Amino acid sequence: MKREIKFSLLYRDMWQSSGKYVPRADQLKQIAPVIVEMGCFARVETNGGASEQVNLLYGENPNQSVRTFTQPFNRAGIQTHMLDRGLNGIRMYPVPADVRKLMYRVKKAQGVDITRIFCGLNDVRNIIPSIAYAKEGGMIPQAALCITYSPVHTVEYYVNMASTLIEAGAEEICLKDMAGVGRPYSNGQIVKGIKDRFPNITVQYHGHSGPGFSVASMLEVAKAGADFIDVAMEPLSWGMVHPDIITIQAMLRDAGFSTPDINMEAYMEANRLTQSFIDDFLGYFIDPSNKIMTSLLVGCGLPGGMMGSMMSDLKGMHGAINMALRQNNKPEVTLNSLVIQLFREVEYVWPKLGYPPLVTPFSQYVKNIALMNIFSMAKGEPRFSNIDKDSLNMIIGKMGKLPGKLAPEIMKIVEEKGLEFYTGNPQDPYPDALEQYKKEMNDNKWDFGPDNEELFELAMHDRQYRDYRSGIAKQRFLQELEAAKEKAGAPKSVSRPVVEMFSFDINKVKELYPQAQPVQATCRGTVIWQYDLEDKSTAPTVGSEFKKGDTVCYIEAYYGLEPVKALSGGKIVQIETAQGTKVEKNQILAFLTAVE
């Protein structure tokens, strides 16, 4: 009898590996019944990762979105699963334990069956608590191995890691090949090693198409005993996303496996609907480069899901790097040359940083260090002259233990900065916080929502949730959408017009806020309201408070990032410039007024 391989559709990851945003709840409601009708999926990834934060960013309630999307699959008996960053929950930085616990109760109540738990460092201390929390919440804990390729990340390394997680209670294991750089034979050997020790454990494989290994890896893991394969579907498959189900089904059938039939009429309808979502607004935020596969990723191992943000960073720094090169009598570089240079620099620095698996958020940290190295060298300065705080925290172990050893030059930087290595549990510095969020909900007379889901959203994404409740998030998104349409040459929206932000001159602001003080650009450049472009929670908004001397934002000048500091304490009452705006020296960026 032929062994059966089941498929999981990554509808959430398809979008987030392509661009910035995910479909709205009304669009998910349209596509879900068609996915069911396709008849070939035993599982669908519905949420998690950054998707719920994205809902908030364009003014939509993520709880309603998740419930809307999961219901048709629940009724059809198709399992739903989410992506879970362990210590970081579904955001980019650590989450208190009580908020992590609440997440699983909320997501189970919303119809999510399985949580795929990973740690970007493969530190089991960040995964094992979530296994217990998921079980307490009624979910199936699927522990993930972040697959990469290095002298440290051997077959034995991964099989031993899987054994530790299974013994800690993981009911399933996922090979999360987030950059698609796991070598096919080695991936097969990892699955074989797990199945030899634990024959009844469910194993699922997840691989991005980027460098071209994932199709071969899917065949190898299937031969070794994998139970589920993650796939995508056109028009969002391939490129930096995942292989299409049609190809994988044909390959596995030829190899002698039993796979479900695909209702091709439903497939084409799902294709049409997905394209309509792209045409509606999502396509304005999809970088064309994300539709292309590249073997250049084989060496640097960067994940497909961050290519869009990486290209945005490179475009933003391209002019500054070329200006630095000109000033040092060096030849300028094209954007394509800069891409190759960044890939090579990542390949160079990665071993020196202890081989952190290149997945969120550590892929961003390694990329940031590599990019700043390129900029430093363009200015004639040595590598590692400028390392941001988050990357330093990774280096000293604040987020978990690095898999490999740090290079001597990195150790020297830690010593020169007077930093100490952290050896404690990564959760310990983040005490329980639900009570303070309950108080905020009560003070604002906000409904906690069914199963405390609104409380959870505030606790998980506090700044974005406040912006959602105030309406600022919707205003900001509509402005961003209108700007994207204008850039693409599309007609202005009529049915959903932009709600314009107020723009006051300083005298008018003084009338409204007598104590208001302007925050002004310290130099010419580009406004950066948050340094880590992947973590929108660091962006200040109206109502954000600052002490005298606090950094309000940055200006990206030709020589690097220039902090803009508050000249007096207060809270923001007006923001005059958006993220990425080009400004002149002394141009007003925002207004602060004293806190009453």
Q: Transcribe 338-402 into DSSP letters.
A: HHHHHHHHHHHHHHHTT---S-TTHHHHHHHHHHHHHHHHHTTPPTTS---HHHHHHHTTTTS--
What secondary structure letter does DSSP report for 490?
P
How many helices and strands, by DSSP H and E, does the chain display? 22, 16
CATH code that applies to domain 294-416: 1.10.472.90
448 CB-near residues (< 8 Å, 6+ apart)? 438, 441, 454, 455
CA angle 83, 88, 89 (to 5 degrees): 45
What is residue 318's predicted lDDT score, i.e. its pLDDT?
Answer: 86
pLDDT tens per residue across all 596 residues of the chain: 799 999 999 999 999 888 889 999 999 999 999 999 999 999 999 999 989 999 999 899 999 999 999 999 999 999 999 999 999 999 988 999 999 999 999 999 999 999 999 999 999 999 999 999 999 999 999 999 999 999 999 999 999 999 999 999 999 999 999 999 999 999 999 999 999 999 999 999 999 999 999 999 999 999 999 999 999 999 999 999 999 999 999 999 999 999 999 999 999 999 999 999 999 999 998 878 788 888 888 888 888 666 656 776 777 788 888 888 998 899 999 988 998 899 899 999 999 999 999 888 888 899 989 999 998 999 899 999 988 888 999 999 999 999 999 999 999 999 999 999 999 999 999 999 999 999 999 999 999 999 999 999 999 999 899 999 999 999 989 999 998 898 888 655 444 333 233 333 445 555 556 667 778 887 777 888 865 444 545 678 888 888 888 888 888 765 567 788 888 788 888 888 877 777 777 778 888 887 65
What is residue 309's predicted lDDT score, i.e. its pLDDT?
Answer: 65
Report the CATH architecture of 502-593: Beta Barrel (2.40)
Domain boundaries, the chain: 6-286, 294-416, 502-593
pLDDT digits 0-9 by tens, 281-316:
999 988 787 888 888 888 888 886 666 567 767 777
What is residue 40's predicted lDDT score, i.e. its pLDDT?
Answer: 98
439 CB-near residues (< 8 Å, 6+ apart)? none
d(CA 372, CA 353): 15
Which CA distances in Å does 449 have to 52, 63, 90, 457, 464?
Answer: 16, 9, 19, 10, 17
Structural contact between residues 213 and 183, judged by C-beta atoms closer than 8 angstroms: yes
pLDDT digits 0-9 by tens, 124-173:
999 999 999 999 999 999 999 999 999 999 999 999 999 999 999 999 99
Buried b or exposed e, range 247-257, using 16+ CB within 10 angstroms: ebbebbeeeeb
**Domain 6-286, CATH among 3.60.15.10, 3.40.50.1220, 3.90.1640.30, 3.20.20.70:** 3.20.20.70
Amino acid at 246: I
d(CA 352, CA 567): 39
- Sequence-separated contacts (24+) of 66-71 with Cβ below 8 Å: 66/107, 66/110, 66/111, 66/112, 67/110, 67/111, 68/25, 68/28, 68/29, 68/32, 69/25, 69/28, 69/29, 69/32, 70/46, 70/110, 70/111, 70/112, 71/32, 71/111
Burial class of residue 216 in the structure, from the number of CB atoms within 10 Å of its CB (0-12 exposed, 13-18 middle, 19+ buried): middle
d(CA 192, CA 196): 6
